[in-house]
Every structure is written in structure tokens, then in C-alpha cells.
A and B are shown apart, each in its own frame.
Chain A
Amino acid sequence: MQTKTHISARDLTVSYGEQQALNHISIDIPDKKITAIIGPSGCGKTTLLKSFNRLLDLQDGVRVAGQVLVDGENIYDPGVEKTHLRKRMGLLSQRPTVLPMSIYDNVVYGLRIHGVKDKKILDQAVERYLQEANLWSEVKDRLHSSATRLSIGQQQRLCLARGLAVEPEIILGDEPTSALDPVSAEQIEQRFLVLKNQYTIVLVTHILRQAKRLADYVIFLYLGNLIEHGPAEQVLNNPRYAKTQAYIEGKFIEEPTIHKEITLQKERSADYLTSTLLALDELQVDQVLKVVVDSEPTMNEISKAVELKCHKILEVKRIDLLHWEIIIQKQNVNFII
């Protein structure tokens, strides 16, 4: 892609106590585009989103390893000012959470904590951002009543207004339309399409059609692993790997049965290509080979070579700092090396 990268994760691993929620995720999120994170429930979408503004720090027992770079700066460096970082990202949480105060105070909360006191500025902000979030007409007569009395869908839009009011560079939306009817959801989607001219937007969504409508770029996670990522048309219409395909077609995601496993370490490049192809030769058609290698270039080369021979790569996964695994399904081709 020729666009600039805004956020990038480098080898990001997150665990809640014993439970690993994200395994060695490396990814680039383009600037001023909409990136959709998709994947089944519990695969780590929310966790990935929260790792971008260091919201995971609030919880006890969460360990984060690796880096997240925002504009090239690692936000997990010890010297980073977290409050400033968070202000740069508006997060819409999965469950809309209004603060225990009036609608007006909710919208200007971010401004107030960053020291804005001028009543005129606050008033303007309230009107402007509520309008941006499509809520103004519904609440303009009761700005000073408690926000908890709003309907859930209204609360979701209020959270959007509140997030926009701190003027972030990035919007992180965790299923931002989950509580809305199709019409309101559509309105919010339209907003996002406008907003992406100014903001980098990362959305978690369960709705594939929404991802298709909005996303420029798609990330597919499964059980904490990054399975596939790339431009939206490619991932959604023509996915490379089996699990992505299954998910997009709404099928049950199965772990392939491995029929043979080889580990290639520190071998010369000619050797590991041959070893892989030899191993494939021994298998029947449709059987599956797992190859574990110890560097990214090796992984890329093997993938390329295997695809050239028309075998099918089901999955490529980083298993730890050094190791990658490639899952290859033998196809019905009769080349002889």
C-alpha cells in the first residue's frame, strides 16, 4: 500500500494472567482509512483495540509484550504520557458507557479535564459534536438532564460525540453500531465515511456487510492469532487462507488435521525448499503438512515456492518470537521435482 502507516503493532503479545489473548501480532494500520477488525467472539478484537491506547494498563494482571508504534513512537516506552496518548484516540467501548452526569457534561467532559473552561467554547462543542453524532435534534431540549436516562442507542451516539469532542486523530470503535437500528446504524456509518477524511478509524465489527461497506483494510483475528490482513476487497472477497474463507462464508472454523510435521532450522535455503516439497510428496492429496521455520524470510520463500507448485496454504502463523508455522494442504498436482 502506498498510504502512510499510522499505528503499527510489532510482535504484540497480550495475556490476561495465564490466558493469552493476542499472540505476536504484527500489523500496520493505514492513516486516514477505515480499518475493520473482524473475527469470532473472544478472538481478541477488543484487546487489540485497547492495546492501542494503553487502556489495558488499568487492569490488574495484564501483560503486554512487544511494541505499538503510533506515528513511529512506541507507546509502551516508559516515558510516554498516557493521558496525552489517550486523548489522541477516541475510544467507543463495546458497551456504551455514559458518565454519571448530564448529557452536556458528558460531551464536554474531555474538554474540561483538559482545561477548557470558556462557556462559549463548551456550548459550541456540545452542539457541534452532538450534531456530528446525529443526536442533537433528539436531546437539544434536555441537555442538562442525566445521560443515564437516554436509550442505549442514544447513549452509543452520545459516546461518539464525547469521543469526537476531544478532537482525537484516531477513532477506535468497538462495535459502534451494535445497539442501533438499521437506519441509525446507517447514519453512523455515513458519518464514519465522512470522518475518515480527517481521522484514522479502526472499527471492530461482527457484521461482515458493514465491514464491506466501510472498510478499506481488514484484519482477521482468530483465537488471538492474526490470520490474515490486507485491503478489504482482497480479504473479504478473495481470502487467502482457509480460516478466513470459512469465517467469511459463515462456516464453522476448523483446525486442520495435521498429517505430517517437519521442523526446519538453520538450513540453507535450497535445503528447506527441497525438504518441504519432499515432505509434501510423501502425502496423499488433501492431506496436510505443517512446516515450522525459524525466520520470516524463510517462511515467505517457502510459502511462495509451495504456491507456485499449486499447493494450498491454509494458514501462516507466528507461534513465538522466532518460529513461524505454515500449514500446507497438498493439492492434486503431479509435478516431479
Chain B
Amino acid sequence: MNIRQFKETIAHRLMFLLCLFVLSLVFLMVFGLYQRAKPILAVSSMKDLVFSANWHPTQGHFGLAGFIAGTLWVTAIAIVIAVPLSLLTATYLSEYCSRWVREIIKPVIDLLAGISPVVYGVWGMIAVVPLVRDYLMPFLSERLPFFPFASENYTGFSALTAGIVLAIMISPLIISIIEEVMRAVSFGVREASVSLGATKWQTTKWVVLRKASPGIVAAVILGLSRAMGETMAVLMVAGCAMQGFPKSIFDTAYPLPALIANTYGEMMSVPLYDAAVLLAALILFLITVFFNIVAWGILLYIERKEA
């Protein structure tokens, strides 16, 4: 065997090993979390822990349902705001604006994507909290006194506040990806559509977005995962008071990451607290994995339908 082939083999093996290592980290993490969460699973069943919102650690009740619901609630609000915003912005950037406008806006958006969550949190506290407290909440909750608007929380720290901050935070990432995916759609299909007399909007809607749909789904899921795991910004504006299930976008929410960051390592005197928080981490992990698998399924479905 000559030197070149030897190098080739070594490189091949090494890369394979590294790949395996990264993969095993995931399993190690799940395993580690599970090990540490075991004590609490010995006391109460998984079902109770996941579906009960009774969170009174000092009395030995560790129902995580409120936190899980909080996570889903805040993420859902963020996605509902972020997706249309990102989709339209990306469409504008990719299809409508002139080249120099794009060349100015694109770097700014990429810059936004890189700003630290703490900054978004601070901005949320000084700008979004008052906006929700003084305008959105009094206005909407009075006029539409039913789900999901009715609420008694007048502080401005709420699920909606967190959702807005998160939406602003994940939008740059989503916009950036969607814009790239849309621009990668071949010029030929645009020409084909336009030459049949379609307007730009019709072309975008029926051809470009359709062709870009797998990428768009991927971008949204990436944003969703990011929103779900985001801790700092949410911690600062969501209120983080445990009130059972959130019943309104104006109620406070206490998502899992905030719970973990807030309490892990602090309330260790309470028996089983440690295990409960690590179980929360495991659940967060599993939820994220679940959504990624769903996304994968959607992608496969779209691709199969297309090709």
C-alpha cells in the first residue's frame, strides 16, 4: 500500500470516527439525563409528571405539564408571528427588491441573526413589555374577552411578549434561509410562468414558493427549534410565574428552558428537585427531537410528491 492510499484510508477512518463520536454524544446526553432523572421516575410515574400541572416541589409535587404547555404556547405564538413576517420579507428580498437594496438589507439581517439573546431580552423589557402592557393587552383583552385574549395579567410580562421577542429573534435566521432557497429556484421556471402571462405575485405564489417549499419547511423548523430552546430572552420577558396552564396570550408563561436555567443548582435542598429539573431537560430534548422528526417527514413527503 502506498503512502497516498494510506492517507486516504486514515482520513476516511478518522472522519468516520469523528462522525460516530458526534452521534454518540447525542445518545450519551439522553442517557445521562435519563440516569439523573431516574430518582423522580421511581417516585411518580412519567404520565403524572408530564400531564399534571401540579408543581409544588416543597410538597413533593413535580408536575411539569405547565412548563411543557408554556414552552409550546410561547413557541406557537412566536411561530405564528415569525412565519408570515419572514416569508413576506424573504419574498420581497428575493423577488421584488432591486439588487442594491438586497445587498444592503441582507447583511443587516444576517447581523441581526448573530446578536446575543440577552440584547433581545433587554430590548423586550424596555420596548415590548410596555407595548403589551399599555396597548395590546388592555385593547385586545377588553374587546375580545375570550380565548386566547382574556386575561388578568396586567404586568406586560407575558407569553405574547416572549412570543414577540422570540419571533423577532428567529426571523432573521428564517428570512436568511428562505431567501437563499427562493433565489436558488431556477430562473427558467420563473420565465416559463411569466411568459404565460403570470404576474410576479402569481409566479412567486404558484411556482417559486412551491419549488422552495422543502427549504421553507426546513427553515421554519430550524427557527422553531431555536425558539423552543431559547432561554435568556424568554426568561426576561415571559413573566415566569407558574399559573398552571396558560389560558391566554397575555398570561405569564414559564417555558422549560427558563425553569431549568432559573432553578437548576439553586434549590437543591428540596428532595428530588434536581431530578425533576433534569427530567424537564430530557423532555425538552425529546420535544425538539420530535419536531425535527416531523419536519423530516414533511420534507420527505414534499420531495416524494415533487420528484
Q: Which A residues lie at the B interface, using CB under 8 A?
A: 53, 55, 58-60, 83-84, 86-87, 89-91, 93, 95, 97-101, 109-110, 113-114, 146, 148-149, 159, 162-163, 166
Q: Which A residues lie within 8 Å of B206 (CB)?
A: 99, 101, 109, 113
Total number of A-B contacts with CB less than 8 angstroms? 77
**B202 in contact (CB, < 8 A):** yes
Q: Which of B194, B199, B202, B305 has the most CB of A within 10 A?
A: B194
Once the chains bind, are B195 and A53 in contact (CB under 8 Å)?
yes
Complex Cα spacing A148 to B210, Å: 14
Please name 20 pairs of A and B residues whose Cβ atoms are closer than 8 Å in the assembled complex, sorted by A.
Answer: A55-B194, A60-B98, A86-B195, A86-B197, A87-B197, A93-B188, A97-B189, A100-B211, A101-B206, A101-B210, A109-B196, A109-B206, A110-B196, A113-B193, A113-B198, A113-B206, A114-B197, A146-B306, A148-B306, A149-B307
Q: Which B residues lie at the A interface, using CB under 8 A?
A: 98-99, 186-199, 202, 206-207, 210-211, 305-307
Q: Which A residues lie within 8 Å of B211 (CB)?
A: 100
Once the chains bind, are B207 and A100 in contact (CB under 8 Å)?
yes
Q: Which A residues lie within 8 Å of B186 (CB)?
A: 97
Complex Cα spacing A98 to B98, Å: 27
Q: Which A residues lie within 8 Å of B196 (CB)?
A: 86-87, 90, 109-110, 113, 162-163, 166
The 10 closest A-B pairs by CB, nearest first: A87-B197, A110-B196, A97-B188, A91-B195, A97-B192, A100-B211, A86-B197, A113-B198, A83-B197, A113-B202
Q: Which B residues lie within 8 Å of A146 (CB)?
A: 305-307
Q: A87-B196, A99-B206, A100-B210 are in contact. List 13 more A-B contacts (CB 8 A).
A: A58-B191, A60-B99, A83-B199, A86-B197, A90-B196, A93-B191, A93-B192, A95-B188, A97-B188, A97-B191, A109-B196, A110-B196, A146-B306
Q: Are A86 and B194 CB-contacts (below 8 A) given A60-B99, A100-B207, A148-B307?
A: yes
Q: Which B residues lie within 8 Å of A89 (CB)?
A: 195
Complex Cα spacing A166 to B189, Å: 17
Q: Which B residues lie within 8 Å of A163 (CB)?
A: 195-196
